Amino acid sequence: MHEKIDENIIGFFASFNAGETDQELVKDYLWSDNGLKNKLAHLKWKNYGQGLQIILFQVYVKPIPYLRKNLREIENYRPKEKSIGIPIILDNENFFKLSESDRQQFFAKTIVEKLGLVELKVKRNKLDFDISELIADVKKSLNYKKIEKACG
């Protein structure tokens, strides 16, 4: 399979241990026309610096207990790829039992929180990358402020 190389700073990977219905639901949230990948596609790594080229959100759907236990909150920076992987676990408690709007809110909140962890890695590794600007742009793209107000 040939994968098109793009310049998007944010990418998504999914691993499924779930039925067809749950898989399709998650795929829609990630890759449909109105999915997260498209909502964030205008965010190109070159606009933020040279130190980081891909932040890969690794979505694990209902992972087995062994995998869940061994996933780190955030992976180490990979200098060769200029990348960082960030696991996100989806299960019945935090995602599938939620309403549509709460699922949208879950993704926006989780992505913004995880980017806060990337900020620590950027500082620790002294990367040429404006993570604060990226976080602000992601918040705008995912209507994060509206979501915050709806909760308050």
Q: What is the C-alpha radius of gyration for the chain, rounded to an integer number of angstroms?
A: 15
Amino acid at 143: N
User: Alpha carbon of 101 to those of 25, 41, 95, 130: distances in Å?
Assistant: 14, 21, 11, 30
What pLDDT is recorded for position 44? Answer: 98
Q: What is the pTM of this model?
A: 0.90
Question: In Å, how far from its chain's centre is CA 122?
Answer: 16
**Could you list the pLDDT tens digit for every one of the 152 residues in the chain?**
444 567 999 999 999 998 999 999 999 999 999 999 999 999 999 999 999 999 999 999 999 999 999 999 999 999 999 999 999 999 999 999 999 999 999 999 999 999 999 999 999 999 999 999 999 999 999 988 655 454 54
The DSSP line for the chain is: -PPPP--BSEEEEEEE-S-HHHHHHHHHHHHSTTSHHHHTTT-BGGGT-SS--EEEEEEEES--HHHHHH--SSPPPBTTTTEEEEEEEE-IIIIITS-HHHHHHHHHHHHHHHHHHHHHHHHHTT-S--HHHHHHHHHHHTTHHHHHHHH-
Give the start-to-end residue ranges of the domains of the chain. 10-151
